[in-house]
Amino acid sequence: KSKCFALHPWICFLIILILVFFGYESMSPRSLLVGRLGASETVLILTPWLAPIVWEGTFNIDILNEQFRLRNTTIGLTVFAIKKYVVFLKLFLETAEQHFMVGHRVNYYVFTDRPADVPQVPLGAGRRLEVLTVRNYTRWQDVSMHRMEMISRFSEQRFQHEVDYLVCADVDMKFRDHVGVEILSELFGTLHPGFYSSNREAFTYERRPQSQAFIPQGEGDFYYMGAFFGGSVMEVYHLTKSCHEAMVVDQGNGIEAVWHDESHLNKYLLYHKPTKVLSPEYMWDQQLLGWPSVMKKLRYVAVPKNHEAIRN
């Protein structure tokens, strides 16, 4: 009797593996291991490699806060405010102070070509802002792609000595609700809000074999957003260094991936599985997508804007 009882956890684990294997091969991502705490909708809460997907109701923030406080954790938040995009920085920082890693030590790393335009935003205890001056580029695509180079360089030279985790975010966004230590893991990516319920055939991966970001048809787990990713400093270093090196090779071959650094991010996360995946609660555009009932919270959201006016 005791031996049978001891086997039960292993039997459950094997059942999960079987469901993942067969479901992953024959079903859409949405139909895999699904569930939802306290809601009628079903969503994916576990990846095929058994990494958690973070939705409201899938974590206990009080327990997690205590765990990370006991570790004396410091979180770095990188953001690029280049050229006219510096206008978004004040709202980004103000809302981060309200909702991002509240109660924990945070270093804001602002990369900008306009250090004099960085706003003075009151910061809470244990939180500081560092302005890192970088050059600008004529095209916004180049600004976007060169951030991988900058993050990898500073991770190696500086960040690894100052913080435990790095969160890399876009500046033309605002924090609207709690974003805390539940997102932290060795390596995390965020499901793209436009593809979180789609089959892999719909993903806009780079499909040209000439590019280092190439992902063949029939391959792929999820489509990740380039606007919100992170992990431990060294894992982020490896990710950004790999993406930067791949983009340098592409540039030498006269090709640019279809979605620039995001395409290379997706290629990296396909072959280096994230240990945690964030739901679209952590990356949403209400102006374009509304507020579907499956989204119990909108945590990090796009700011309505005229992209062309800003880029020009």
Q: Give the residue numbers marked as catalytic.
A: 262
β-pair type (228-232, 187-190)? antiparallel
Residue carrying structure tokens 């180079």: 149
Pairing mode of beta strands 165-169, 34-35 = unpaired
88 is in an annotated binding site: no
Residue 219, CA atoms < 13 Å, CB-side half-sphere? 13
Residue 261 is assigned to a ligand binding site: no
Residue 262 marked as a ligand binder = yes
Extract the tokens encoding 302: 């796009």
Given the DSSP bridges, would you call strands 173-175 and 300-302 parallel, antiparallel or unpaired? antiparallel
DSSP string across 238-283: HHHHHHHHHHHHHHHTT---TTTHHHHHHHHHHHS--SEEE-GGGS
| Residue 132 structure tokens | 């890192």
| Displacement of CA 219 from its chain's centroid (Å) | 21
Residues in the chain: 312
A 10 A CB-CB count for 22 gives: 11
111 carries a ligand binding annotation: no
Q: How far apart are CA 231 and CA 148, in angstroms?
A: 14
80 is in an annotated binding site: yes
Rounded Cα distance between 261 and 143, Å, is: 10
User: Is 175 marked within a binding site?
Assistant: no
Is 171 labeled as ligand-binding? yes
Q: How many CA atoms lie within 13 A of 55 on its CB side?
A: 22
255 among annotated binding-site residues: no
Taking a C-beta distance cutoff of 8 angstroms, is the pair 201, 121 a contact?
no
170 is in an annotated binding site: yes
Number of helices (H), then strands (E), in the chain: 9, 12
The reply to whether 264 sits in an annotated binding site is no
| Ligand-binding site membership of 260 (annotated) | no
Binding-site residues for Mn(2+) sit at 170, 172
- Please enumerate, by residue number, every residue annotated as part of a binding site: 80-82, 85, 170-172, 192, 204, 262, 285
